[in-house]
Amino acid sequence: MDIKKKLKKKAYVVKDKCVACGTCVKVCPRGAIKIIEGVFAEVDENKCIGCTICAKECPASIIEMVAKKEVVVDVK
Amino acid sequence: MSNKRKKKWNDYLYFVSILYLILGVFNILFAWLGLLCFSIPLIISLSGGGKLYCNNYCGRGQLLYLLGKKFNLSRNKPMPNFMKSKYFRYGFLSFFMIMFGNMLFNTYLVFSGINSLNEVVTLLWTFKLPWGWVNTSFVPPGVAQFAFGFYSVMLTSTILGLVTMVLYKPRSWCIYCPMGTMTHGISTIKYNNKIKNI
């Protein structure tokens, strides 16, 4: 088996700039985002599939896609 | 990949936002109902509910999203950085509150009989639209004056929301919405106090 290690991108919210409007929560297909006490949004990295929908929808454009998790991909 | 989340009753609150603006055309006194949009978010955030109102029950946010996303009316471009800054958000909140105070003072002048009822809706704090087709004589003039003032505030903010929805992303209004800024400020203070006490 020919395997390759690849970094998977996950959504990351820049907390100090987030106004907690909740747009990302509504559009996330995996329910991976939560608003913490009405202050900022937080992404559950285990649930995030890196689809970028939240990053595109965020009105403040403060959700970044960050290479977070190393995944093993079978390239056979 | 589509969002298959089952719709709930509160996903249709954009209808309330539209209805509010329509009712105001038929009878300006319905504008008083807009006080709910002011009081509910504040009560929720003061009682520790954070931005639950913005996240789940804001009809205007839903309306802007519907028009921008489903009706494709938004350019979907990022907002300029200055509009996202704290200075702009709190500056806009201050300006909004000053104009709101000015409206309350005008209402007071009519209540106390110093001024007579002015049947106009003021758009963008400047343009005066004659709105005198409704009989408001069955209520004190001050009550009617507040309705005209409040409807002006609601219509003006809707227009600003629509303009930024078209120019930037659908819910751009949510970034500088004065109610959102207030509830976010309250939630932040509460959150910071909570962290300090741990």
Minimal Cβ distance to B51: which of A22, A26, A59: A22
For residue range B26-67, what is the model confidence (pLDDT) as tens digits?
A: 989 999 999 998 999 999 999 999 999 999 999 999 999 999
The answer to whether B125 and B10 are in contact (CB under 8 A) is: no
Structure-derived torsion over alpha carbons of residues B91, B164, B40, B117, reported in degrees to the nearest 10 = 80
Instruction: Enumerate chain B positions whose Cβ falls within 8 A of a Cβ in A.
Output: 1-5, 45, 49-52, 54-56, 61, 65, 69, 76, 78-79, 84, 89, 168-172, 174-175, 180-181, 183-184, 186-188, 190-191, 194
For residue range B162-188, what is the model confidence (pLDDT) as tens digits?
A: 999 999 999 999 999 999 999 999 999
Minimal Cβ distance to B171: which of A17, A23, A53: A23
Give backbone dihedrals phi and psi of A13, rounded to 5 degrees, phi first.
-95, 125
pTM to 2 decimals? Answer: 0.89
So where are chain B's domains? 9-196
For residue range B70-95, what is the model confidence (pLDDT) as tens digits?
A: 999 999 999 999 999 999 999 999 99
So where are chain A's domains? 2-75
For residue range A28-50, what is the model confidence (pLDDT) as tens digits?
A: 999 999 999 999 999 999 999 99
Minimal Cβ distance to A60: which of B3, B52, B84: B84
Q: Any residues with CB less than 8 A from the CB of A8 and at least 6 apart, and which?
A: A50, A67, A68, A69, A70, A71
Is the pLDDT reported for residue B2 higher than 60?
Answer: no
Q: Does A2 touch chain B (CB under 8 A)?
A: no
How large is the ipTM?
0.85
More confident residue, B44 or A2: B44
Q: Which fold has domain A2-75?
A: Alpha-Beta Plaits (3.30.70)
Q: Which token pair is A16? A: 């100090």
| Cα–Cα dist B72/B149, whole Å | 32
* Band of residue B1 on the pLDDT scale cut at 50, 70, 90: very low
